[in-house]
Amino acid sequence: MSHQSGIVWLASYPKSGNTWTRHFLHSLLRVLHGEAGAQSINNMGRFSSGEAGRWRYSVLAGREITKEDMELIPTLRPKVQIRIADEAGGVAFIKTHNALLMDEGQPVISPAATAGAVYIVRNPLDVVISLSHHRGRPIDETIDFMACEGMRTTISEKQVYEIWGSWSEHVHSWTRSGHAAIYVMRYEDMLADQAKTFAGLANHLKMNPSAAELDSALDMSSFERLQAEEKEGGFRERPEAATANFFRAGKTDQWREVLTPSQVDQIVTKHHAQMERFGYLPS
C-alpha cells in the first residue's frame, strides 16, 4: 500500500475530524503555493474529493446508478479508485469513511490505487454525541448503530454505499498492522497540541512547511474559523437530517456532561479493546 503516486486516503469513522484535517491540508497547500486567503469550506473539491460520489460509478457503468445496484458497486469500486489515481497524475487526497475491509471478494480500498493513508481516530464516547446530532437520531440508537458490525450505508442521490462497520471494526481495520504508509492521528491530540500533531502529518506527507507556513495554515483552519464560516454561509456537506451545525463543538470529553453512566458502560463494553489501545477508557 505505498506508491509514489496515487490516492492518499483521508480516512476515519464519521465525526472524527476528517473534514478538519482536509481543511488544514487545503490551507497548507494554498500557503505553500503562495496563495492568499483561507480555503472556503465549500470549495474543498479543488485539492481533495470523495470516492463514493454516485456520478463516478455511473460514468463507469455507462448508465445512472440506482438504489437497486448494490451488487454492482463492489466490482466498480476498484476501477473507480484506479481511475481517480490515474487522473491525478500524482498524489490525490481522497476522503473516505470506508473501513479497510473486503466487500463481496473485492477490496473496499484498492491497493493498486493507493499511495498511503491518514487515519483519524476519536474517542467513541464523544463520537456518539456528534454522530447523534449529525444523523438526527437519539444517542441510545446511535450507540447501537456504532456497535453494528458490517454496517453499510445505502445508495443515496449523491453517493454509493460505504461500509463503515462498527466503530471498533473500523478502527481495527485501519490500525491493526502499523503500516508505515498509514499515518494515525488522534482527534484529541489535534486539539491539545495542534502544532505538533499537524506538523507531524505535514512532514509525513513530505510537505515540510516552515514554522511560519505551518502557523499560517493552522490559523486558516482553526475550528473557530470553520464554525464562523458555516454560520455565515452554510456547509454543503452537512446532511439535511442533522440537528446541529457540522462544526458543532470541537471539544473533547463532552461525554462526561452528556452521557449517562449506563450509556458509558454500554460503549465501553462494546469497544473496550480498541478504546484501551488508544487511551480512551474512562479512569
Tens digits of residue pLDDT in 200-225: 999 999 999 999 999 988 888 877 77
pLDDT of residue 250: 64
R_g of the chain computed on alpha carbons: 18
Domain limits, the chain: 6-123+152-245
Q: Can you tell me the distance from the alpha carbon of 258 to that of 264, in angstroms, rounded to the nearest whole number?
A: 10
pLDDT digits (tens, 9 = 90+) for 95-112: 999 999 999 999 999 999
DSSP 152: B
Average pLDDT, whole number, for the chain?
Answer: 88
* pLDDT band at residue 2 using 50, 70 and 90 as cut-offs: very low
Question: According to CATH, what is the number of the domain 6-123+152-245?
Answer: 3.40.50.300
Helices 18-32 and 194-204, axial angle in degrees (round to 10): 70
pTM of the model: 0.87
122-152 confidence digits (pLDDT tens): 999 999 999 999 899 999 999 999 999 999 9
Q: Which residues contact 22 (CB under 8 A, 6 or more apart)?
A: 10, 44, 48, 93, 95
Q: Is 169 exposed, middle or buried (0-12, 13-18, 19+ CB in 10 A)?
A: buried
Reply yes or no on whether the pLDDT at 70 is more than 50: yes
